[in-house]
A and B are shown apart, each in its own frame.
Chain A
Amino acid sequence: MSAYDLHERAASIVSDAGGELIGRTRLQKVAYLSRLAGFSDEFEFEYRHYGPFSDDLADAMKLATGLKLVTEEERRTDWGGWYSVFTTVQQDGVRNLERANFISAAARIGAIELELAATAAFLFEVEGFGKDGKDDPWEETARRKPEKAGNGRLQKARIAFRKLREIPTPIPLPEIV
């Protein structure tokens, strides 16, 4: 039995998402929100260009793919972009139904909306936007990500976050909507 098991925990996120999880952004943001919701605390997150990001999770997923617990396939969009699709090689039974319910719901949110929602939650939790009643984490998210927050996406992200808050979790997601 190895004392290091972060790769197994990273793989379990894909497993709880239903065996397939599309995209590295989605993986990171789902993991961050599930941490906020009290389902895990093994990965530490910091603010990066795309919002909350964990180096440990990225490394652990690389190990999980190396050991073939998960496969990562790079696919190309019709407009020339690249993205990853993670698939569990062997689907284990779901260990925590509440967690799987939350993770699969989060993984179904559009990648940009999920990024905006996770960023707003991070700005509230870690940087304190909105905690003193002065700043608004959504406004700050829009300021930092104007290219993504437009076209009504910020509003959609708020709605998606509100729906996630309605799912029972060990710790309620921050009340920012």
Chain B
Amino acid sequence: MRQLGFSEFVFPGATHTRFSHSVGVFHIARALMAVIESDPANRTHQSLVALAAALVHDLGHGMFSHAFEDIGKRINLPMAIHENVSDALVRESEISEVLNRELGRGFSEEVADVIRNKNPGNLFDSVVSSQFDADRLDYMQRDRLMTGVQGSGVDATWILANLEVGTVRINADEEEAGEVKTLVLGPKAFHAAEHYVLSLFQLYPNVYLHKTTRGAEKIFSSLILKLYGLVQDGRNDLSGLPDNHPIILFLSNPNAIENALLLDDALFWGSLHFLSNSKDKLVAEYASRLEGRRLLKCIDVRRQIEGQIPVRRGMTPEDRQEREAKITIKVKTIMKEITARSIERERNKERQILIDEYRRSPYKKFQDSQTPLNQILIRHAGVIEDMAHLSSVVSGAESFEVNRAYVSEDDTEGRTMIASIIQNSVGEV
């Protein structure tokens, strides 16, 4: 299973696997745990649970991870969602047998609970899941290395060297709810932490949300959705795949974990030749496009609207926030109309227009109330503070959002329709 799915279309080196990532996460989790366990009072059974959770946290990812997961969420296929698969594998499989044999009865249940993150957050959980966990520290370094992007470096050595355990208060709004121990950075790592946040933020537009990668993911999603529709209608014969092909088996019975486990990237790539000979027009077209890397053309709606509402000199942070909100509302309105018209076109058996919408905050300060587990905390002048309160760069970073439409290169009508919706929106808001 490739860590970055279709990113290989853009960055030929991005061929690393979930396995190498998982081993890397385990390595970093051990380094983080060494910080925690430098205080003998913190050496408990829970550290073993957290370390095991770090190693197996991504076990349930299916082919093309997030694209496949999106399909699972859209049409409610529980075994296409990695948390569900991981949960089932850790609780009841050869994995649980090994964990329970080596580390004690019921150990696998504890590991699964940490991955599910439904147990109360604590110091050990923060190694597995937090703003600053082993997962991110690994994938940021690994994905940057393999894609070759130069702008998102993380000084992991310096960050790890400056980590310590701190005690902070937790709250719900204005009410205090006790204290927890969590990982905190010493003051010398302030700039490294600031850079970490910005690096993570830059990986999204540059790598994970690259228009070509996302365009391929959208084709993949549409292709699998169409296959699912065919299978549900009992028309496997149109798919181009034999009835016992793992993709058909999964789509026939998507609740069976053994069917989900049959799927991986290699199996999908291997099926493309047959799918491209499908009797269904859309399946054949999309399989052939992925096979030959002939992707749909991207119309970046948001970029076009940003150009219509330019940044002015002398804008205050509030003015910028207002501009951002105006752009977002205008773009959301346009995308809603494009989506509605696309659905209408599909109903009339016309060409598909694929929609891509995604929003990512650089740093999720205060997303609900503050919790130490979703903050980066810095010990500064003897007080432990949220990074966003200390760094104007971090607090001022705006959300990154994509709003795109993908249209076939020969779909002149579709392109004209989108251009006209954008043109008609001039002057709104």
Contact = CB atoms under 8 A, between A and B. Distances in A.
B337 A66 contact: no
B326 interface: yes
A115 B321 contact: no
A50 interface: yes
Contacts, number: 115
Interface in A80-100: 80-84
B173 A83 contact: yes
Contact of A49 (B321, B329, B366, B373): B373
Contact of B368 (A2, A50, A63, A144): A50
A80 B176 CA distance: 10
A84 B329 contact: no
A112 B367 CA distance: 16
A134 to B, nearest CB: 18
Contacts of A22: 173-174
Interface size grouping (class) on chain B = 35 or more
Nearest to A54: B368
B174 A77 contact: yes
Interface in B161-209: 169-178, 180
Interface stretch (B37-45, B117-125, B136-144): B117-125
Nearest to B323: A66
B366 A82 contact: yes
A53 B368 contact: yes
B369 interface: yes
Contacts of B306: none
A84 B365 CA distance: 11
Interface string A111-130: 11011000000000000000
Contacts of B177: 112, 147-148
Contact of B120 (A83, A112, A147): A147
- Chain A, interface SS category: mixed
Interface in A20-62: 22-26, 28, 47-50, 53, 58-59, 62
A30 to B, nearest CB: 11
Given A49-B368, A65-B321, A144-B120, A77 B176 contact: yes
Contact of A80 (B120, B324, B367, B383): B383
B66 interface: no
Given A25-B173, A66-B325, A4 B333 contact: yes
A144 B117 CA distance: 10
A48 B207 CA distance: 27
A47 B325 CA distance: 27
B120 A145 contact: yes
B336 interface: yes
B170 to A, nearest CB: 7
A74 B171 CA distance: 14
A110 interface: yes
B328 interface: yes
Interface string B307-332: 00000000000000110111011101
Interface string A126-158: 000000000000000000111110000000000
B82 to A, nearest CB: 15
Contact of A144 (B119, B329, B428): B119
A2 B171 contact: no
A3 interface: yes
Given A25-B173, A112-B172, A147-B170, A4 B336 contact: yes
B169 A24 contact: no
A15 to B, nearest CB: 18
Contacts of B175: 110-112
A67 interface: yes
A156 to B, nearest CB: 12
Nearest to A23: B173
Interface of A: 2-4, 7, 22-26, 28, 47-50, 53, 58-59, 62-63, 65-68, 74-75, 77, 79-84, 110-112, 114-115, 144-148
Closest 5 CB pairs of A and B: A23-B173, A66-B325, A111-B173, A4-B332, A111-B172
11 contacts: A2-B428, A2-B429, A25-B172, A50-B369, A59-B359, A63-B328, A63-B329, A67-B325, A82-B366, A144-B120, A147-B178
